[in-house]
Chains A and B, each alone.
Chain A
Amino acid sequence: MALSEKELRDALRNRWFIVFTIAFAGLALALSALMQPGGSQFQVASYSRTTASLINLVLLFVPLIGLTLGAANLAGDRETGALAYLLAQPVTRVEVLLGKYLGMASALLATLTLGFGLAGLALALQGGINDAGGYLLTVVLAYLLALAMLSFGFLMSVLAQKTAAALGGALFLWLLLVFLGDLGIMGTAVITQMPIGSVFLIAAINPLQMFKIASILTIQANLEVLGPAGLYASNQFGNALLPLLLAGLLLWIVVPLLSALVLFARQEKLTLKGSLK
C-alpha cells in the first residue's frame, strides 16, 4: 500500500502524465461540446457521435500512456539503483510489482475518470445523455483497456534492463496495436483472400479492437459500421459478443501482468549502480 501511494503521488507529479491528463480531459470536453447541435431531435445522434469520438480518443491516447508509464516504471528504478535498495527491504518482489502496478493503475483510471467525467457532465448539462448505462459501460471498457496496456508496459519493464529499451519496446507495441496491426491484417486478408470470419478473429485478438468493438456495441445494437466483419461477428456471436470481448480484455490484463510477476519473481540480476553489486 505504501508503494501504491508513492507511485500514485509520483504519477501525479509526472509532467508527462499531467500533460496527458490535461490533453485527454480537454479533448474529451471539447468533443462533447463540439458534437452538440442544440436541437433535441439530434440529441441521440450527438450522444452517439460524442461517444464514438471519445472511443477514438481512447484508442489513440490510452495505449500510449499506459504502455509508456508501465514500461518506464520498473526499468527506471532498476537503472537508478532504487529498485535494488527497495528489494533489500522486507518486501517480496510480487509485493513490489503489484504495489507499483496498483499505484500507476489508480493514476491512470483517475485521469480517465476526469476526462470521461467532464465529457459526461457536459453532455448531461445539455441533456445529451440518453443512455447513461451505455456511457458508463464505455468508461469501464476504457478502464479495462488502460489496465491491459499498463500490464503490457510492466511486462516490457520487467524484460528490459534499460529504460530506453523498455520505452522503445512500448512505443513499437503501440504502433503495432494502433496502426500496423490493422494495416497488416487488411493487407494479409486481401492477398490471401482470407475468410471473413478469420479476418474478424485475428483483428479481435488485438485488445484495442476488443475495446473498439465492445464500445460500438454500447452505442448501437449491431456492428454494421464495421462492415462485413462486423456483420459476421453480430451473426456469429449475437448477444454473447459483448461478454466475450469483456472477458478477452480481462485476459489481456491478467496474462501480461501474471507473466511480468512470474518473470520478475525469478529475476536475480539487479541493477548494480549504487547498491547491491
Chain B
Amino acid sequence: MMIIAKDLTKRYGKATALNRVSFTIELGEAVALWGSNGAGKTTTLRCLLGVQGFEGELTVNGIDVRRQGKAARTAIGYVPQEAIFYDMTVLETMRFYARLKQVSASRINDLLQQMQIDIHSHKRVSALSGGMKQRLALAVALLADPPILVLDEPTASLDVKAQRDFIHTIQSLNYAGKTVVFSSHRMDEVMALASRVLVLADGALTLECPPYELAEKLGLHRWLRVYVSAPHRENTLRVLEEQGFVYTPNGRSVYVQIGKGGKLAPLHSLQMASIPVEDFDLIDGDLNQGESHD
C-alpha cells in the first residue's frame, strides 16, 4: 500500500475538519478527493503532506507522516491550486527547489522539456501564464522523482486548453506508475484521471466508488454528442429509441447518455443501421446545467 490512513481526525478548536477518515491507496492508483468546500479535501491533503497535526494513523510509502513529516514529503510531489514562487526565473526556480530537495540538477532540462516550458527557462516566473506556472509547479514536484503526486485542485485556475493539457500530462505520469491523489470539483477531471473517488462530506468519508458511479449518483452523466447530416436525423433518433438509449436532440447533433465503458455502443448501433456519423465528442455533466467537453 502506498498510503494508509486510519481514523484520520483533525480538529480546529471545537470544529472537526476530519472525522475518523480511513482509506488506503495502492501503488499506481489515481484517486480523487471529491466534496464541497469545507468537506475536508484540503485538510486530508495537508495531513498527507505532514504540514499539520492530526489524530489517527497515516503512513505514506511506509513512512509515519506524523513522526517523519519531512521524510514523507520526500516521497510526495505537491502541486497546489496556484503555486506561489519567489521572484526568480524558471531555471533559477528549478535550481532552487532542486537544492532544497537535495537532488541533482541533472533532471532540470529534461523536466522543463517534458512540461514544454524549456523555451521559457530564462523568463521570470511572474511573466508565465497560469498554465505554464502549473506546469512549472509539476516540474518542481517531479524533481526528486517521487512515487506519489498530490495535487490540490490543480486545474481550477486554468483555461480549458490548459486544463486539458495538464490533465493529459498527469494521465501520462499515472500510466508511467506514479500514484496520484488529487482534490477536484470538476467531474470531467475526475472522470478523465481517477480510478477511484473518495467522497467527503462534513469531514467524513461518505462514499468510495468508481468515478462513473459518482456521476450517476450526482445525476451527472457522460454524454456522447453525435453529429449526423439532416437526411439521417429521423432515422438516428429511431435507432437510438429502439436500442433503449437515453438521448436529447440538439440542433444538428444528438446527445446520447453513456454509462461505464459504453462510449462505443451508440456508435456501433448507428453503424449497424448504416447511418454515417460525421463527428462526435464526449461531454461530462448535466446538460441542463452546462457542460464540459473532453
Contacts and interface: CB of A to CB of B under 8 A. Distances in A.
Interface stretch (B67-75, B237-245, B254-262): B67-75
A274 B101 contact: no
A89 interface: yes
B175 to A, nearest CB: 25
Contacts of B99: 1-2, 5
B45 interface: yes
Interface string A62-106: 000000000000000000111011111111100000000000000
Contacts of A236: none
A86 B100 CA distance: 9
Interface of A: 1-3, 5-6, 10, 80-82, 84-92, 268, 270, 273-277
B171 interface: no
B74 to A, nearest CB: 4
Contacts of A274: 80-84
B284 interface: no
Contacts of A86: 100
Chain B interface size, as a band, is 20 to 34
Given A90-B74, A91-B70, A268-B53, A275 B82 contact: yes
Interface in B41-79: 42, 45-46, 49, 51-53, 69-71, 73-74, 78
A6 B85 CA distance: 12
What is the predominant secondary structure among interface residues of chain A facing chain B?
Answer: loop
A92 B52 contact: no
Contacts of B85: 82, 85
B149 interface: no
A270 B51 contact: yes
A85 B96 contact: no
B86 interface: yes
B144 interface: yes
B49 A2 contact: no
Given A82-B85, A275-B84, A90 B42 contact: no
B73 A88 contact: yes
A87 B50 CA distance: 10
B96 A6 contact: yes
B97 interface: yes
Given A90-B102, A276-B152, 15 more contacts: A5-B99, A81-B84, A82-B86, A84-B51, A85-B84, A85-B85, A87-B51, A88-B49, A88-B73, A89-B73, A89-B101, A90-B101, A268-B52, A274-B83, A277-B152
A275 B80 contact: yes
A14 to B, nearest CB: 11
Contacts of B84: 80-82, 84-85, 273-275
Contacts of B144: 90
B100 A2 contact: yes
Contacts of B78: 88-89
